[in-house]
Structure 1
Amino acid sequence: MAGMLDAVDQRTQLVGENRLELLMFRLGGMQLFAINVFKVQEVVQLPRLNLMPHRHPSVAGVTHFRGRTVPVIDLSESIGLRPIDKDKPCNLIVTEYNNTVQGFMVGEVDRIINMNWSEILPPPDGTGRTHYLTAITRVNERIVEIIDVEKVLAEISPYDSSVSEDVIDKDLLSLADGLEVLVVDDSSVGLAQCRSTLDHLGIAVHTATDGKRGLDLLKKWAAEGEDVPNKLLMMITDAEMPEMDGYRLTREIREDPRLKDLYIVLHTSLSGSFNKAMVQKVGCDDFLSKFQPDKLATVIQDRIRSVMEAE
């Protein structure tokens, strides 16, 4: 099983090429699900679990893994399906999100596939806001559902989106009035957290749910005569999104003379050490792990100061 992930170290070759690798698996039935390999540390057979009192119903227990205690989430139950049958062969997908490590209990692990983000589509319109998918794709004529893990984790351990009072520079609040930011993210949880922080600072928020829509919006403004790098204080973008990822979005912006000076912050739940190494490669100005409202507020305020000093 560990051999499945031998190629993960080559993932940096995909950055900026609008490509990704998906780890596909089942949750008991025949339907295929997937998550981005970027977030996967290891896949192992389900080890023995220890129960925890007062745990969330979707948390099956904890296990000791490579010197640390890791919570194990029944991924099937957490998205509203029947719990995983532990009497059948089960696997544990160990992942890192927002600098925390957790394991997802799944059934059969299928394989890793390499795809273009253009082949990854948003969930169909009309599916409502309660589903747990960020995207879908098709592999060998079969639908594969890509799970919104951020939503799963937020429901088990809700994120605090409030900004500490001692972080806010009140002298800047009046300067922030009228400033605008574009947030690009396919996760409703990620969008909501960014909006909450920006609202707290009094900044107007534009949103797009994938890189292609974000780029289309920027180009529309430019075509209408807007000076986009001056219109927006910054763009905050997720890394992995349907149709066009944040890395490719950044590259497209840097190659457009009308947009190239836009300040771009990569804001993602992917591994921090990996993304910091990629920021310069694709031309982002800053990197920030998700769901850290104080740090996001600090990045925004630092950018406001920089803009004001340049004027």
Structure 2
Amino acid sequence: MQTIQQEIDERTNLTSSNKLELLLFRLGEDPGLDRNELFGINVFKIREIIPMPTITAVAGSPPHMMGVVDLRGQILPVIDLPAVAGCTPKTGLNILLITEYARSTQAFAVESVEDIVRLDWRQVLSAEGNGASGMVTSIARLDGENSDRLAQVLDVETILRQVMPSTELEIDPDTIGPHVDLKPGTVILAADDSLIARTMIEQGLEAMGLPYIMCKTGKEAWDQLQAFSAKAQDEGKTVHDRVALVLTDLEMPEMDGFTLTRNIKQDPRFSAIPVVIHSSLTGSTNEAHVKKVGADAYVAKFVAEDLANALRQALSTVH
């Protein structure tokens, strides 16, 4: 346990080109397969790992909410992650993963923690359309391209909204403000690997009257940008006649948002396009990395008004 915690502390600053650190853990047996599969979560989301403490049950808690824990004076909700995933732990719920995500802190109960692995995002493939549940955004090949050792990367956004749904109106036109007029023919190019995040982003862009093209990965967005540039060149135009702004998540299969932003800002064809990063990876360390790769703005998920304000500000600099 101490070794894993030390590794998290030492590796949190990882921003190598298109790489991530994945914490691997187990939730128990899947009743349909009778197998104990590996799951993963980005180390950037992990604040600490602790042995299972005493949990206080809370009256009227939603399903899969075990209760709360008092962690050094901070009361945190505890989510039964095996129950959410439909798994049965054989040795019990032994570990709490304390996570910081999208302006909130919560604890996930798991059966065991296995390891931390360093991967290239190219080893992480989108799970959409491959029979995965909505709680899994991607599948990580742990030992390279031909590996049969896989880990399911969980969609924390979806899990939190299932267990603790927001009672507030997600998109309020009164707080979003008036529509924004783009240069005719241009769009917002957006990328996010989470289905629920894409849905919320789309609702926000539509409330602002902004036309958009939505991508599921950074690589898909980069390929789309290349295609826009080629078509514009054939028409005697530039990519700026096609793309007004790029809005990107950070954690995405194949190519992460750091790499996508770096690619855009280092390419003379695209460098003047504003890039807004919209991520659940909050904190001063990540904000410093965002500035380092040249992003024009950083917005923590998910407050529609904050996103709208950041987009307006970034678009106001476009000439």
Same fold per superposition (TM over 0.5): yes
Deviations 1:189-210 (A, max 9, x none): 1111111111001111111101
Asked if 1:279 is matched to 2:279, the reply is no
The aligned counterpart of 2:33 is none
The aligned counterpart of 1:193 is 200
Contact 2:276–2:314 (CA under 8 A) maintained in structure 1: no
Q: Which runs of 4+ in 1 moved over 4 A?
A: 176-179
Give the 3 Å change call, closer, same or farther, for CA 156–237 of structure 1 in structure 2.
same
In 1, distance between residues paired with 2:228 and 2:175? 36
Select the structure with the greater relative contact order (CA < 8 A; seq sep ≥ 6): 1
Contact 1:2–1:44 (CA under 8 A) maintained in structure 2: no
Tell me which of 117, 139, 145 is aligned to 2:142. 139
The aligned counterpart of 1:203 is 210
User: Shift in Å at residue 258 of structure 1?
Assistant: 1.3
Give the 3 Å change call, closer, same or farther, for CA 52–84 of structure 1 in structure 2.
farther
Contact 1:99–1:271 (CA under 8 A) maintained in structure 2: yes
Give the 3 Å change call, closer, same or farther, for CA 84–301 of structure 1 in structure 2.
same
The aligned counterpart of 1:109 is 113
User: Shift in Å at residue 126 of structure 1?
Assistant: 4.2
In 2, distance between residues paired with 1:58 and 1:136? 24
The aligned counterpart of 1:300 is 311
The aligned counterpart of 1:256 is 267
- State the identity as a percent: 33
In 2, distance between residues paired with 1:78 and 1:120? 23
Contact 1:32–1:144 (CA under 8 A) maintained in structure 2: yes
Asked if 1:99 is matched to 2:103, the reply is yes
Contact 2:46–2:100 (CA under 8 A) maintained in structure 1: yes
Contact 1:163–1:297 (CA under 8 A) maintained in structure 2: no
Of stretches 236-245 and 297-306 in structure 1, the one that deviates more from structure 2 is 297-306
Gaps of 5+ in 2: 30-35
Higher helix residue share: 1
In 1, distance between residues paired with 2:74 and 2:2? 18
Of stretches 4-13 and 141-150 in structure 1, the one that deviates more from structure 2 is 4-13
The aligned counterpart of 2:225 is 218
Contact 2:17–2:259 (CA under 8 A) maintained in structure 1: yes
Gaps of 5+ in 1: none
User: Shift in Å at residue 158 of structure 1?
Assistant: 2.9
In 1, distance between residues paired with 2:12 and 2:79? 28
User: Shift in Å at residue 165 of structure 1?
Assistant: 1.2
Contact 1:21–1:37 (CA under 8 A) maintained in structure 2: yes
Tell me which of 242, 247, 252 is aligned to 1:231. 242
Contact 2:24–2:114 (CA under 8 A) maintained in structure 1: yes
The aligned counterpart of 1:123 is 127
Question: Normalising by structure 1, what TM-score?
Answer: 0.90
Give the 3 Å change call, closer, same or farther, for CA 2–94 of structure 1 in structure 2.
farther
Q: For residue 54 of structure 1, what is the amino acid of its counterpart?
A: G
Question: Normalising by structure 2, what TM-score?
Answer: 0.88
Asked if 1:161 is matched to 2:170, the reply is yes
Asked if 1:41 is matched to 2:47, the reply is yes
User: Shift in Å at residue 274 of structure 1?
Assistant: 2.3
User: Shift in Å at residue 84 of structure 1?
Assistant: 4.6
Deviations 1:200-257 (A, max 9, x none): 0111111110111110000011011253345323111010111110001111112222
In 2, distance between residues paired with 1:164 and 1:11? 41
User: Shift in Å at residue 298 of structure 1?
Assistant: 1.1
Q: Aligned with 2:60: secondary structure?
A: coil
Give the 3 Å change call, closer, same or farther, for CA 69–150 of structure 1 in structure 2.
same
Contact 2:123–2:142 (CA under 8 A) maintained in structure 1: no
RMSD (Å), alpha carbons:
2.1
Question: What does residue range 78-97 of structure 1 map to in structure 2 within 5 Å?
Answer: 78-79=84-85, 81-82=86-87, 84=89, 88=92, 90-97=94-101
User: Shift in Å at residue 164 of structure 1?
Assistant: 5.3
Tell me which of 269, 272, 275 is aligned to 2:280. 269
Give the 3 Å change call, closer, same or farther, for CA 111–125 of structure 1 in structure 2.
same
